[in-house]
Amino acid sequence: MKMTRVDHRFSELKKQNKKGFIAYLAAGDPNLKDTEDICLRLEDAGVDVIELGLPFSDPLADGRVNQEAATRALEAGSTFEGVMECISNIRKRSEVPMIFYAYMNPLLARGYEQSIAIAAQAGIDGFLLLDLPLEEARPYRNALKQNALNAIQLVTPTTPNERIHKIVKQANGFIYCVSREGVTGVQDEIAVGAGALVQRIKSETNLPVALGFGIGTPEQARDAARLSDAVVVGSAIVNAFHNQAHTPEGRAEATAFVKSMVDAVKSV
C-alpha cells in the first residue's frame, strides 16, 4: 500500500526525533464551515494529524464533551455528504494528515465499500473504527486497503497480550493506545500503567504508538509524550473551541491553547 499523509508525517517525526500531536474534533461542531476554519488553524498551531469524529447519534466510546459535540454537529445539519465536502474543501488548501474517528452504522447505512471510497476520494487518510470487532474486521479492512487508507487500531488497558499481537497485525499508520478504562474525557492525571501498556504494544509492533483519552493540559501532554510516540487530545480541544466565541478572536484564543499543548509535546 502506498504511504498516506499520516505515514509520511510519522516518518518525518521519527527522522527529526520528535513526538507527534494528534487533535480530535467533531466534524460539524459548531458547523461544517467552521470545522474547515478550525482544521486550518490547528495545522498552523503545529498539529501533526487531525482526527475528525464522523457525527453519529450514539457515540458510545465517548464521554459527555464529545457526545455533546456530536449532538451539536447533527443539530447543525451535518450529514455524511456534508462532511465529505468539508474534507474536500480543506484539501484545496491543506495537506494536513486527517483520519476519521467513526462508528460503523453511518458507513454501513450507505454501503460500507461506497462510503470508504467516497471518503478516500474526498481526501481522508484513514479510519479508526470504534465498534468493529477484531473477529469481524477482515472484509472491512480490505476495503480500507483497496482505497489506500490507514486502518488505525485501538488497544485498551484490558487488552491481553495475545490479543494485542493480533490487533497490531491488522493495523497500519499508528496504534491508538487508550490510556485508561472508560470513555473519552479530560482527567486529572495520566493513568497509572499507561507507560507499561505502551511498552506492551511496542513489544509487538514497529508502528508508532499514540497515547490518548484523558489528556487535557500542557503538563499532561508533556508527560504522555515521554511515554509514547504521539499524544492524542480530544475533549480539551473540543471544549476550548466550544467555550470561546465563534469569532476570529475566540478562535485565536482556542488555537493558542492548543499550541501550548503542541509546544509541550514538541519539547520532549
Is pLDDT larger for residue 223 or for residue 181? Answer: 223
Tell me the H-state helices in the chain: 5-16, 32-44, 64-75, 80-91, 104-109, 112-122, 138-146, 161-169, 194-202, 218-227, 235-243, 248-266
The residue ranges of every structural domain in the chain are 5-266
Q: In the prediction, which pLDDT does 63 show?
A: 86
Query: DSSP readout, 216-254?
Result: -SHHHHHHHHHHSSEEEE-HHHHHHHHHS-SSHHHHHHH
> Which pTM value belongs to this model?
0.95
In this predicted structure, the answer to whether residue 226 has a pLDDT above a threshold of 80 is: yes
- Closest by alpha carbon to 208, among 17, 32, 50, 23? 17
pLDDT digits (tens, 9 = 90+) for 22-55: 999 999 999 999 999 999 999 999 999 999 999 9
Residue with the three cell numbers 471518503: 119
Percent with pLDDT over 70 in the chain:
96
Active site residue 62: yes
User: Which of 29, 51, 125, 223 does the annotation list as catalytic?
Assistant: 51
Candidates 43, 62, 125, 229; catalytic one? 62
The pLDDT value given to residue 184:
53
Task: Tell whether the model's pLDDT for residue 232 goes beyond 80.
Answer: yes
How many residues does this entry show for the chain?
A: 268
Residue type, 220: Q
Question: Could you confirm whether 189 is annotated as catalytic?
Answer: no
The pLDDT of residue 181 is: 58
State yes or no: pLDDT of 187 exceeds 60: no
pLDDT by residue (tens digit) across 127-163? 999 999 999 999 999 999 999 999 999 999 999 999 9
165: helix, strand or coil: helix
pLDDT-derived band at 186, boundaries 50, 70, 90: low
Please give the CATH number for the structural domain made up of 5-266.
3.20.20.70
